[in-house]
Chains A and B, each alone.
With several copies, the nearest count.
Chain A
Amino acid sequence: MTVLNIVQAVNHTLRDEMKRNDKIVLLGEDVGVNGGVFRATEGLFQEFGPNRVIDTPLAESGIIGVSIGMALYGLKPVPEIQFLDFIYPGFDQIQSELAKFRYRSGGQFTVPVVIRTPYGGGIRGSHYHSQSTEAFFVHTPGLKVVIPATPYDTKGLLTAALRDPDPVMFLEPKKIYRTVRGDVPDDDYMVPIGKANVARDGEDVTVFAYGAMLHVAMEAVELAAAKGINVEVVDLRTLLPFDIDTILSSVKKTGRVVIVHEACKTCGFGAEIAAQIAERALLQLKAPIVRVAGFDVPFPYVLEDEYMPNANRVLNAIEKVHNF
């Protein structure tokens, strides 16, 4: 057991798996000598050398496209996109190639690339260092989409991703890169992709959240507890394929649902969860489903705190569905 924060958990997991699997190659902007702008790859260039940790030219399309080519050859490339906001020059490679290679080749060619990228607000990064556009990837068959919220899950999910036969978008909540710390076993373990986690048991209301928002939800839940509302919190962890069983069994229990994400509300991942519930568990619902989400505006700068869902907004939503 070691106490680690999230970015350290990423770093340790990469190191451990790179020792185990010499096919893993890291590549990206500033990932080598500099160890990544968030230091996620710190020390790895020094330890594994320039054939395993590669500083690339400034081109996401190249980083992802070249990773796909490496994967075709049998390596396990782990590209880092410096910020999720900067993934779009490489979006064509993700949409047209990464997600469809197995299918279109009839299973002949596979490209199990793991794209790591920090996402989300909370660092005063304005428009282009803050966005949460995970829904784009969830709407893309062929990808898996994973978002950890704790150091333990970071290691477990990243290990699972690095051993997965399919392409994985591994989105890291940069807001809590350093602020959330926790015990991480030194031994090798996996948290299975596709399984949610009931982070807190409760009876009255369910809050669904993931990534940095899990902690906002937990904060809100404590405030609610003080008001006598006993809230269950489900950390979704994998967004595609999401864990419908855990979702439905919690709804069945509480009948009241709040969904939290920092991505813009309209057509965000919360919509899918709400739609699933409206399709599969309507009769269990005792109150309208409330989404607490980022507003439908480009990510702001000065007014970031107003934009981001906070415990207060989540609490309001909990009270609303509870008192309905």
Chain B
Amino acid sequence: MTVELLQVIKPTGEYVEEIEPDISKDELRRLYRLMVLLRNLDIRGLQLQRQGRIGFFIGSLGQEACQIGSAYALKPQDWAFPAYREIGAALLRGATLKEVMNQYFANAEDLQKGRQLTNLYGLKSINFVTGSAPIATQIPHAVGTALAAKIRGDPVVTLVYFGDGATSENDFHTGMNFAGVFKTPTVFFCQNNHWAISVPVERQTSAETIAVKAKAYGFEGVRVDGNDVLAIYRTVKEAVEKARKGGGPTLIEAVTYRMGPHSSSDDPTRYRTKEELEEWQRRDPITRFRKYLEKKRIWSESDEKKAQDDANHEIDEAIAHAEKIPRPALETLFTDVYSDMPWHLEEQLRELQEEKGRKEE
């Protein structure tokens, strides 16, 4: 059981060559640009909410390395089960910013048909399963999908995202236990961002670490610096490969920090100090990765400017598009409850249409 924190890139940008993963220059640059996009998307998302242009926002400020590093370790046939902060993972796996923005605006082009809060996103074509608000429920799903793949003999691994708070929930226990018993190819990726809304992680558990909890289920738990994209990639990749080879599940605790509010409804100054935040800002995962790229001389000031400009431009365009699209049709209130609309929903739809008609007269 590793309880130390694996680190590849030091806060200064220096790195441990022996464990540096083998990623091409272009790919490294792509990953960085994605992290920049994600950061800007988060900032803009919160702004959009504050301006009343979208209804709600929940971001991943400070957790960009977790998202990008983990998702990059998956193959296309693998499945990802997000909680609600994992838009970065979706983008990396191939979701377009346009699709994501349609979800933010919950418009008629949103694949979720405007039915879910911002960032409860899913995309079937990339095996990225639509999340839900209840904490930890996705964990047994990831185990079930992994078990199904194992039964069918498919080389598929599932990766499930959840927070430190989620480890207190029933379904964390249940999912971990089934994974242990059935040795499913599942990677449990816990982003320990130190807070569950206002409750600090010390109030979630008195275990030494979250990683150690894996021992209760008979498999391995590891800890990784959650602000170090390369360490995360390396750790997740090892776990994914082990799972694919039949080695069973792994719990990964990525130690990071939620730099923003819990969501657009939250005011973190009520329960945590400025000092704590500042301390973590100094460990910003994006800054660190940039220093690394600069050390390796594959990133310049002008690259940076371009990345920022491109990100903002892309976001602007996606917003401009999404905001123009009308809201989902009235009928979508009643579709997809079942595969076919049963009589009582048809009747209720008709009633609503009539009432709307009357009102508009």
Residues on A lying within 8 angstroms of B by beta carbon are 25, 29-30, 32-35, 37, 51, 55-59, 61-62, 64-75, 77, 85-86, 88-89, 92-93, 96-97, 100-110, 124-129, 141-142, 144, 165-166, 194, 241, 244, 265-266, 295-298, 300-303, 306-307, 312-313, 316
> Is the pair B333, A307 in contact by a Cβ cutoff of 8 Å?
yes
> Is the pair A301, B116 in contact by a Cβ cutoff of 8 Å?
yes
**Once the chains are docked, how many angstroms separate the CA of A225 from the CA of B330?**
30
Name the one of B137, B270, B271 contacting A65, with C-beta atoms under 8 angstroms. B137
> Is the pair B178, A66 in contact by a Cβ cutoff of 8 Å?
yes
User: Can you list 22 residue pairs at the A/B interface with Cβ under 8 Å?
Assistant: A25-B148, A37-B266, A58-B196, A59-B168, A66-B140, A69-B143, A70-B144, A71-B144, A97-B132, A100-B132, A102-B339, A103-B337, A104-B112, A105-B129, A124-B55, A129-B117, A141-B337, A241-B342, A241-B343, A296-B345, A306-B356, A316-B355
The residue in chain B whose Cβ has the minimal distance to the Cβ of A101 is B130
Residues on B lying within 8 angstroms of A by beta carbon are 55-56, 79, 106, 110-117, 120, 122-124, 129-130, 132-135, 137, 139-149, 151-152, 156, 158, 165-166, 168-171, 173-175, 177-178, 181, 196-199, 203-205, 265-266, 270-271, 327-328, 330, 332-339, 342-345, 348, 352, 355-356, 358-359
- Report if A302-B106 is in contact (Cβ < 8 Å); known contacts: A58-B196, A59-B168, A124-B55: yes
A95 to chain B, nearest CB (A): 9
**Once the chains are docked, how many angstroms separate the CA of A126 from the CA of B106?**
11
**Once the chains are docked, how many angstroms separate the CA of A97 from the CA of B343?**
23
The residue in chain A whose Cβ has the minimal distance to the Cβ of B121 is A105
> Is the pair B170, A303 in contact by a Cβ cutoff of 8 Å?
no
- Report if A33-B338 is in contact (Cβ < 8 Å); known contacts: A92-B134, A108-B123, A108-B124: no
- Report if A300-B169 is in contact (Cβ < 8 Å); known contacts: A58-B135, A128-B132: no
Chain B hits for A128, CB < 8 A: 117, 132-134
> Is the pair A72, B333 in contact by a Cβ cutoff of 8 Å?
no
- Report if A56-B178 is in contact (Cβ < 8 Å); known contacts: A29-B196, A300-B115: yes
> Is the pair B113, A29 in contact by a Cβ cutoff of 8 Å?
no
B238 to chain A, nearest CB (A): 23
> Is the pair B359, A105 in contact by a Cβ cutoff of 8 Å?
no
- Report if A69-B144 is in contact (Cβ < 8 Å); known contacts: A141-B337, A306-B352: yes
- Report if A73-B120 is in contact (Cβ < 8 Å); known contacts: A34-B270, A96-B132, A103-B336: no
Chain B hits for A109, CB < 8 A: 122, 124, 129-130
**Once the chains are docked, how many angstroms separate the CA of A86 from the CA of B165?**
14
Name the one of A33, A57, A61, A62 contacting B270, with C-beta atoms under 8 angstroms. A33
B304 to chain A, nearest CB (A): 36
Name the one of A51, A124, A266, A297 contacting B334, with C-beta atoms under 8 angstroms. A297
